[in-house]
Structure formats: C-alpha cells, structure tokens
Amino acid sequence: MNVILTGVTGTLGSQVLLELFKRKDIETIYLFVRNKKKLNASQRFQRILDTFSKNNNKIDIPNLKNKTIVLDENNFFNPKEYLSTKIENYFIHSAGYVNLSTKENDRESILNENFNFSKHVFETFNSCIKKFTYISTAFSIGDIEGEINNDYHNNINPNFRNAYEESKYKTEQYLIEKSTKNNIAVQILRPSVIGGNIEKSPKSYISKFMVYYLIGKFFYKNPLLENNKIRLSANFKGGLNIIPVDYVAKVIAKAFLDNSVDQLNIVNKQSTNFVSGFTKIIQTVGFKGFSFLNNIPTNTIENKNTLEEFYYSSIGNHLAPYTLSKPHQYNTNRLEDILPMPIYNLEEYLEETITYAMKNNFRNENW
C-alpha cells in the first residue's frame, strides 16, 4: 500500500511519518509540503531529515528518503499523475491551522485553512484512495461537561469556544456525510493537547512549543514580572488534557488501518488540574508571584496591573475559554484496546517538558 500524508512539517505529522516508516507493508509515502519564500518543499523536508538524524542516529535516513516522495502545491493536487490504481492508497490528513483566537475577524481565515482546504483535499483524492483518515481535535466537541465518548455526531450540539473548534467539527461533519455519499471509508482521530515525547528518544522532544508551553514561555524571562503579580482565573474543578506526541503518533500509525474505528479520541485518561498544573509550569520557569481566582470571567477582574493587562490581552485571551471550561473526562476504553497508555506522573511530565523547552529557549524547529 501507499500512504499520502499532509502536515509533516507540523508538531504531529513528522512523528507520524517516523511511525509509518517502521511499517514494512507501506511501499511509498507521499508527502505534501508547501514551498516557503526562502525554502522550497524539498529543502524543508531535508531540514526535517536533518532533525531526525540529529535526534536519533538509529533512523535509516537514506532509506527513509528513498521511501518518500515530496510534493509541493504545484504537484500534489494532480494525484492521477503519480498515484497508481493497482495498489491501495490511504490518506492521512494531519495538516491543520491551530489558532485559538476568539476574534471575529480571524474566523474566516481559520475556517478557510481548516474546513475549505480539507474539503478541497478530499474532493481531489476521494476517487483515488481506499480510506481517508482525518486528524481532528478532541476539543471539536466544544465546552461540554461529564464523560466524553468517541461519537461526536450523535445528537450533540457543540458549544464552540472558538473558530478553530468550529472549523474542525464542520470538517468532521462534511467528511461523514461524503463518506456515505461517495462510499469511501472515512476515519476521524482526535488528539487532545499535544506535549513532548514520553518514551521516545529524545525524551520530552517536540518540534513546536504550543498551548500549555505558551504559559511557560510567557512567564520565562518576562521583564514585566519584576514589579508585578498576577491573578489567574481558572475553574478549580477543571483540567487540561495533555497527551504525549510519540504516543499519539503510534496510535495513528496503528489505527488508520483498523476498519472498526470510525471516530477515536486520542486523549489521556486523566486531565491535569488547572491550578496544580499551571502552578507546576510557572514555578518551573522561576516565577512565584501568582495566585488563582476560581471561575471568574476574565473581563470582570478589577484593577488589573500591567502584567495582568498584557496577559489577558494576549495568550490569556485565547486560553481563558479553556481554563474556565466545564469539568469533563474522556472514555479511553477503545483507545487503550488499540494501544495501552504509558503510565507516568502528570505533573512531573509537565515539569520535564517545560524544562526541555527552557533548554531550547522555547524555539520551534525551523522547517
């Protein structure tokens, strides 16, 4: 079989590529990589290979390169030019635009990048492939309380926190509808917040420091910290669900061929409590001048100082819908049937991943 993979320059996609490479039943992996102003698609992919080589010298880089074909936007959308109909082709659509903005003027671009682009991809490739696997997000169900199961489309009306969640949910609905009409298998896999490696070498590695890392980055060497303290609003009963990227990649590499899996949340069985988790993150980067407010809307916090004003007008504005979200937990029974979850201390993991980010000065890989 062949696999077409998008999102290889993203946090998860590069790890998925490595897991797919381990499979002996894959003949060729076709990669969609956009050209950049200073780097073309092949040069960007070479930088990914250089990172693989630097991080793990056990990877057979020449063989990996021979097994992959890199396609830029000029060539990718002509599948009949390179995909053979004599072999089964599987599509894993991992590309996505993660933007948690709640601003109305950002909504159109977020919907375009996630929904319209995914729609274009599916319409282009559906006649050439056996199965389409879409990497969505566990948060596409919106703000919901209680136990969350894998079926997000059975009489559920999501309460979206932002356009990102809406765009992912809308894409899921489109694909489910087209699956029936086009008689093509569609699978939806939903990771929660992605953190660094838990088992794979190098430990704690991740290519881009996003979401909870942004808390650490904000409080790391910030000149506004010197004369200010900060009040952070959070639901004391709520938590953030974080899952290691190497575990997610392994699940995807196993699940994409499992015809019994239509929808699957790739999530931690336990969420990290907001108060204890944020305390661990902020103390790890060396700041102590913070306290917590229980479930207070951020726009009602009075007498904000300079640090608070800056925080709540930047990352705090994007993260508040999550820190104030309802308590919930995921049913992970089906997930752990596919691949048992690694056992580790959630707060120690936070400390280790933030410490790793500090050593790298929170710099993302330049792919």
pLDDT grade, residue 361 (50/70/90)? very high
CA distance 53 to 286: 33
Q: Per the structure block, which two tokens stand in for 205?
A: 């590695």
Indicate the fold that domain 2-194+241-266 takes in CATH. Rossmann fold (3.40.50)
Q: In whole angstroms, what is the distance from residue 141 CA to residue 359 CA?
A: 35
Token pair of 94 as six digits: 């991992």
Reduce the DSSP state of residue 162 to 3 states and report it.
Answer: coil
**CATH 3.40.50.720 domain extents, the chain:** 2-194+241-266
Given a cut of 90, is residue 183 above it in pLDDT?
Answer: no
pLDDT reported for residue 41: 97
If DSSP codes are grouped into helix, strand and coil, which group holds residue 282? Answer: helix
Average pLDDT of the residues in 310-326: 95
Q: What is the pLDDT of residue 299?
A: 92
pLDDT of residue 172: 97
CA separation for the pair 344, 352 (Å, rounded): 12
* Distance (Å, whole) CA 223 – CA 29: 46
Query: What integer pLDDT is reported at residue 300 of this predicted model?
Result: 95
Predicted TM-score (pTM) of this structure: 0.96
Closest CA to 270 of 342, 318, 319, 210: 342
- Mean pLDDT within 242-265: 98
Confidence of residue 49 (pLDDT cuts 50, 70, 90): very high
Structure confidence at residue 57 (pLDDT):
66
Q: Which helix (H) or strand (E) holds 151?
A: none
Cα separations (Å) of 82 from 89, 125, 151? 11, 12, 35
Residue 24 pLDDT exceeds 90? yes
pLDDT in tens, 119-155: 999 999 999 999 999 999 999 999 999 999 999 998 7
Listed in sequence order, the residues at least 6 apart from 200 whose beta carbon sits closer than 8 Å to its beta carbon are: 15, 246
- Crossing angle for the helix pair 163-182 and 104-111, to the nearest 10 degrees: 30
Alpha-helical regions (H) of the chain: 13-21, 41-55, 61-67, 73-76, 104-111, 117-125, 163-182, 212-218, 245-255, 274-284, 306-313, 315-323, 333-338, 346-359
* Beta-strand relationship, 68-71 and 2-6: unpaired
